């Protein structure tokens, strides 16, 4: 572009530079404002400013995968097929009639020992996720970050997060069935729940179902998603069939109490409450009961929106593997204890033993030893249970929780550290006595559930043949697919073809239906 002055001559770059040099100097005419007005006033409002952008983008999300990180992985080099198969020798013993006596008379042969075996198998399943990055996004991100590479990194991280959910709570085998008809009652005074006859229906939720359920969005039933190839993926959403509804008349001032028989494999329950035909999701609890003393919120999912309430949608038998929780739920050998219903809406809480331990955890540890001569190596809890265990282990706060720190160089200066960390649980039921079991917070474990497990069988189990209780076996471990370009974007997928093999479900223990308190 060329600028022309009144005399027809070009205003050249040199002229502009000259003008810039004299801006701020008083011209010979004696008035500097005339020149400033001629060039225009520029302020911050014109946005003619630099943009201070720190590269690259900050990843402010957690990637917490403790079980995935801990459990060994191995990949079959060839001939993996569709499933892994193995043999188990689950028990050996003395003669069937005299299992604890081995006396033999002189010159005679002893009776035959007993041996118990089992055939086991697990199918490979595929985990995966995809993403795409447009050409424009790659061009615009040049000099800021390699958008395609960072997208691949985040895709792998999210796949690992989904794998952690699967390792803990994937459900291939456990059918919740239908919940029982709820037990209802109404009593008390002072509540503000309006007088009416209320109808209640309840669904049990698996680990996966609990993770996806919300009051507003409701529970998941059969869920269809569209893959990046346009094909439909249909999954069950982790909720049981609903049993029959129950009704209860409530007068003003009374509280409505409701409970249902606990189901093995359920970690939560979804409560639909309202007058008959108008029930809506009012609560999702991690115990098998609930109580309502205030007017219904009536903002949750309508029961009438669930058209398949009589169908069990709790497992994905052909697409999933059993995580550690459902390996325990599915085995009669694993330790399982659903705490009693107790008072509806409150449940049964953990019990302090008065010696710094928890009665229910002690009973689980004793069972491990009595039945299998094992001690768990880890106890996983939710933040709610960590708080409750901590409170009860210190006898409801009656023990001193203050530590005094005295600086040797300055003994007059004393500092205080309030609180304690409950990092270990001492198991007295151990071959060598006093085994310390770390208590770990798991980011995904629901409130009301505690899981204990022994990752490595002790040497006296001849563990050369079973190096660990569980492992991830991969037909093909994490791999990335750069899909052919069909639009102006790069599409990538991250997949893993794997299974969780649980060799020894008796090394797993679950406490569930634990009330908060």
**Could you give the CA distance from residue 225 to residue 234 in angstroms, rounded to a whole number?**
6
What value does the mean pLDDT take over residues 73-99? 78
pLDDT band at residue 216, thresholds of 50, 70 and 90? Answer: very high
> Which residue is associated with the tokens 């399982």?
336
**Could you give the CA distance from residue 325 to residue 236 in angstroms, rounded to a whole number?**
18
**Cβ-Cβ contacts under 8 Å for 1 (sequence gap 6 or more):** none
Give me the domains of the chain, ranges plus CATH numbers: 3-39 (no CATH), 66-83+115-174+321-512 (3.90.1690), 183-305 (no CATH)
**Cβ-Cβ contacts under 8 Å for 505 (sequence gap 6 or more):** 327, 328, 330, 331, 333, 334
pLDDT band at residue 21, thresholds of 50, 70 and 90? Answer: low
User: Do the beta carbons of residue 290 and residue 256 sit within 8 Å?
Assistant: no
Question: What was the pLDDT predicted at 213?
Answer: 96
pLDDT digits (tens, 9 = 90+) for 342-383: 999 999 999 999 888 899 999 999 999 999 999 999 999 999
**Could you give the CA distance from residue 378 to residue 380 in angstroms, rounded to a whole number?**
6
Question: Any idea what the Cα angle at residue 205 is, between residues 202 and 211, rounded to 5°?
Answer: 130
Question: What was the pLDDT predicted at 155?
Answer: 92
Q: First vs last Cα of the chain: how many Å apart? A: 78
| Residue 120, strand partner residues | 86
Closest CA to 285 of 262, 313, 305, 302: 262
Question: What was the pLDDT predicted at 4?
Answer: 46
User: Do the beta carbons of residue 204 and residue 480 sit within 8 Å?
Assistant: no
Question: What was the pLDDT predicted at 398?
Answer: 46
Question: What was the pLDDT predicted at 111?
Answer: 84
pLDDT band at residue 126, thresholds of 50, 70 and 90? Answer: very high
Question: Any idea what the Cα angle at residue 72 is, between residues 68 and 74, rounded to 5°?
Answer: 115
Backbone angles phi, psi at 473, to 5 degrees: -105, 125
For the CA atoms of 25, 31, 32, 33, the dihedral, rounded to the nearest 10 degrees, stands at: 180
Question: What was the pLDDT predicted at 59?
Answer: 87
Coil, strand or helix at 477 = strand
User: Do the beta carbons of residue 382 and residue 210 sit within 8 Å?
Assistant: no
Question: What was the pLDDT predicted at 2?
Answer: 46
**Is residue 346 classed exposed, middle or buried when 0-12, 13-18 and 19+ CB atoms within 10 A define those classes?**
middle
Q: Among the listed ranges 6-20, 95-109, 154-168, 439-453, which one has the minimum average pLDDT value?
A: 6-20
Closest CA to 124 of 503, 481, 477: 477
User: Do the beta carbons of residue 208 and residue 238 sit within 8 Å?
Assistant: yes
pLDDT band at residue 19, thresholds of 50, 70 and 90? Answer: very low
Q: What is the DSSP letter of 251?
A: -
Got the DSSP string for 437-448? EEEEE-TTPPTT
User: Do the beta carbons of residue 236 and residue 314 sit within 8 Å?
Assistant: yes
**Could you give the CA distance from residue 499 to residue 172 in angstroms, rounded to a whole number?**
11
**Could you give the CA distance from residue 414 to residue 227 in angstroms, rounded to a whole number?**
62
Question: Any idea what the Cα angle at residue 230 is, between residues 229 and 235, rounded to 5°?
Answer: 100
Higher pLDDT, 195 or 57: 195
**Is residue 392 classed exposed, middle or buried when 0-12, 13-18 and 19+ CB atoms within 10 A define those classes?**
buried
Neighbours of 296 (CB within 10 A): 19
**Could you give the CA distance from residue 306 to residue 304 in angstroms, rounded to a whole number?**
5
What value does the mean pLDDT take over residues 501-515? 94
User: Do the beta carbons of residue 496 and residue 475 sit within 8 Å?
Assistant: no
Closest CA to 386 of 415, 358, 411: 358
Backbone angles phi, psi at 147, to 5 degrees: -60, -40
Got the DSSP string for 341-398? --BTTTBB---B-SSSSBHHHHHHHHHHHHHHS---SEEEE-HHHHHHHHHHHTTTTT
The winner for highest mean pLDDT among 88-97, 276-285, 401-410 is 276-285
Task: Return the biggest CA–CA distance within the chain.
Answer: 135
**Could you give the CA distance from residue 85 to residue 88 in angstroms, rounded to a whole number?**
10
Enter the tokens of residue 334: 């694993």
Q: Does the structure show a pLDDT above 90 at 14? A: no
pLDDT digits (tens, 9 = 90+) for 49-59: 888 888 888 88
What value does the mean pLDDT take over residues 392-403? 59
| Residue 122, strand partner residues | 84
pLDDT digits (tens, 9 = 90+) for 230-245: 999 999 999 999 999 9
Question: What was the pLDDT predicted at 9?
Answer: 52
Q: Does the structure show a pLDDT above 90 at 96? A: no
Neighbours of 156 (CB within 10 A): 17
Q: State pTM to two decimals.
A: 0.85
**56 preceded by cis ω (within 30°)?**
yes
Closest CA to 278 of 252, 306, 254, 298: 298
């Amino acid at each position: 572009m060329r600028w022309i002055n009144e005399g027809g001559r070009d205003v050249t770059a040199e002229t502009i530079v000259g003008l810039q040099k004299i801006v701020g100097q008083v011209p010979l005419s004696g008035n500097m404002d005339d020149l400033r007005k001629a060039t225009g006033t520029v302020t911050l409002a014109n946005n003619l400013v630099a943009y201070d952008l720190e590269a690259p983008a900050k990843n402010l999300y957690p990637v917490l995968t403790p079980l995935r990180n801990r459990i060994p992985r191995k990949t079959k080099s060839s001939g993996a097929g569709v499933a892994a198969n193995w043999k188990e020798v689950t028990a050996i013993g003395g003669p069937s009639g005299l299992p604890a006596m081995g006396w033999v008379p002189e010159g005679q042969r002893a009776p035959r020992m007993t041996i118990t075996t089992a055939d086991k198998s697990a199918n490979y399943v595929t985990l995966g996720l995809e993403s795409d990055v447009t050409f424009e996004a790659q061009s615009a991100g040049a000099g800021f970050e390699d958008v395609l590479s960072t997208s691949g990194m985040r895709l792998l991280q999210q796949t690992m997060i989904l794998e952690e959910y699967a390792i803990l709570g994937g459900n291939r085998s456990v059918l919740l069935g239908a919940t029982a008809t709820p037990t209802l009652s109404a009593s008390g005074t002072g509540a503000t729940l309006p007088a009416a006859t209320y109808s209640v229906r309840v669904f049990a939720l698996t680990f996966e179902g609990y993770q996806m359920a919300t009051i507003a969005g409701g529970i998941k039933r059969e869920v269809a998603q569209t893959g990046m190839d346009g094909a439909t993926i249909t999954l069950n959403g982790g909720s049981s069939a609903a049993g029959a509804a129950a009704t209860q008349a409530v007068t003003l001032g009374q509280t409505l109490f409701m409970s249902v028989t606990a189901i093995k494999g359920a970690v939560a329950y979804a409560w639909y409450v309202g007058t008959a035909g108008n029930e809506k999701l009012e609560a999702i609890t991690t115990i098998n009961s609930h109580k309502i003393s205030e007017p219904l919120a009536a903002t949750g999912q309508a029961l009438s929106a669930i058209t398949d309430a009589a169908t069990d949608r709790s497992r994905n038998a052909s697409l999933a593997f059993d995580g550690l929780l459902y390996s325990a739920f599915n085995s009669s050998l694993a330790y399982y204890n659903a705490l009693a219903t107790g008072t509806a809406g409150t449940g049964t809480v953990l019990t302090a033993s008065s010696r710094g331990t928890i009665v229910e955890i002690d009973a689980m540890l004793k069972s491990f030893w009595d039945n299998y001569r094992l001690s768990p190596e880890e106890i996983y809890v939710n933040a709610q249970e960590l708080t409750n265990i901590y409170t009860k282990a210190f006898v409801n706060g009656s023990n001193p929780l203050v530590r005094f720190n005295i600086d040797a160089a300055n003994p007059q200066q004393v500092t205080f550290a309030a609180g304690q960390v409950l990092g270990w649980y001492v198991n007295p039921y151990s071959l060598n006595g006093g085994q310390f079991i770390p208590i770990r917070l798991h980011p995904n474990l629901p409130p009301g559930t505690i899981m204990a497990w022994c990752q490595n069988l002790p040497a006296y189990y001849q563990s050369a043949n079973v190096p660990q209780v569980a492992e991830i076996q991969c037909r093909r471990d994490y791999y990335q697919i750069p899909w052919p370009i069909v639009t102006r974007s790069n599409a990538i997928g991250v997949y893993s073809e794997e299974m969780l093999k649980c060799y020894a479900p008796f090394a797993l223990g679950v406490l569930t239906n634990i009330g908060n308190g």
